[in-house]
Structure 1
Amino acid sequence: MSFAALTAFWAVSFLLVLTPGADWAYVISAGLRGRRLVLPATVGLACGALLATLAVAAGVGALVARNPALLTALTATGALYLAWMGIGLWRSPAAIQGGDDAEAGTRWHWTLKGASVSGLNPKQLLLLLALLPQFVRPADHWPVFAQIMALGAVHAASCAVVYFGVGWGSQSVLRSRPAAAQLVSRISGTLMLGIALLLLVEMAWH
């Protein structure tokens, strides 16, 4: 795989990651609850992106795209999970906490939730399914599977850099504004609920 192909894919991937969505909402909620939770949440989101890439590389993405029943199940699962997360943010909006005050036992919890938010996002799976093949060269000396995973690693790295900055910055910007922090938390919850609703409506429409 050429350096030019990796660079071109990174540019496209980075622009896509900069677009706010459920991942942004999740990492902002982590940042508001404590800076020590930002890294576990970010790692979880990046792992979810790698899992989606692995699914595409293994052919699962193509199978899901061809099979309406599997796609419906994936969409419903992802939408319901996002809705559950959004309701949680509305019921318990995050208050600004210092990094030393965050609960020590929640790091793995936030990592697993992050992997679920990212990995269960059907939009990400279908996006990678549409995007990755454009940068794969079957005649290259790298196997196709290795090329896809290399590109997925680049995408996961973009996710890690952007989401860590967003999560870390959310507390810096809102540290002295507790009311604004709760408002942002509820906006994040609303965003998750909105995305979940759009997924369900789109699923019912098709």
Structure 2
Amino acid sequence: MRLDLWLAFVATTLLISATPGPNMLLMLSHGTRYGWQRTLATMAGALSGLAILFTLSAFGLAAILAASATLFMLLKIVGAAYLVYLGIQCWRAGASLHLPRADGESAAKRYRLGLAVALSNPKAILFAGAFLPQFVDPNLPQQHQWVVLLTTFFIIEGTWQVAYAAGGARLAAWLASPRRIKLFNRGCGGAFFAVGGLLALARR
């Protein structure tokens, strides 16, 4: 693909992926609780969710969401409600570094949580349907350009997820007292509330 388009895509995606949205907040939280190696299962789930959303976008779901205000509103409310639920879980964790019901103890459960968080945001489908095509040159072979763009996106997204999880792991050493742990859990809970509220208020 064209080098100028690819460089513009890299620069934009670096900024977008770095923004602390639902996926990155989850990586930070799990990195603190379980260490970045065990958070790899959560990352795999989140990346799998994004891959599913991008596939659905390729089959036209992004266009359907963009055209149907009712469907977009429904998916948006479901996604926002799930993020608020995660916020409540973190808030209720109190001075414990483990989520209630030990949801993060098994790799399979961490994977499913990452998958659910990634799938809970319909804006990601619109990202794939509206943002990515802007970097495709219609005068060049389409398939190769999509392969380059998607490979680049997942490398950048995965790198940022590892960075957030590693940052959370470093936070674990600072969280030496129940008071700090409680503040951290309340902070994560408040962040999930905020992101859920922003998603609920977001327009197409």
Residue of structure 1 in register with 2:152 after alignment: 154
Offset at 1:107?
Answer: 1.0
Number of residue pairs matched by the alignment: 198
Give the CA RMSD over aligned residues. Answer: 2.6
Structure 2: how far apart are the matches of 1:186 and 1:93? 7
Q: Which segments of structure 1 move beyond 6 Å, counting only runs of 4 or more?
A: none
Q: Does 1:87 align with 2:85?
A: no
Residue of structure 1 in register with 2:116 after alignment: 116
Residue of structure 1 in register with 2:167 after alignment: 169
Letter of the structure 1 residue corresponding to residue 121 of structure 2: N
Structure 1: how far apart are the matches of 2:45 and 2:142? 28
Offset at 1:153?
Answer: 3.1
Q: Structure 1 residues 69, 148: CA separation in 2 closer, same or farther (over 3 Å shift)?
A: farther
Q: Structure 1 residues 163, 80: CA separation in 2 closer, same or farther (over 3 Å shift)?
A: same
Question: What's the TM-score once normalised by structure 1's chain length?
Answer: 0.83
Gaps of 5+ in 1: none
Q: Is the 8 A contact 1:32 1:95 kept in 2?
A: no
Structure 2: how far apart are the matches of 1:29 and 1:90? 12
Q: Structure 1 residues 24, 37: CA separation in 2 closer, same or farther (over 3 Å shift)?
A: same
- 1:55 partner SS: helix
Question: What's the TM-score once normalised by structure 2's chain length?
Answer: 0.84
Gaps of 5+ in 2: none
Letter of the structure 1 residue corresponding to residue 173 of structure 2: R
Higher mean C-alpha displacement, 194-203 vs 53-62: 194-203
Identity, in percent, stands at 26
Residue of structure 1 in register with 2:126 after alignment: 126
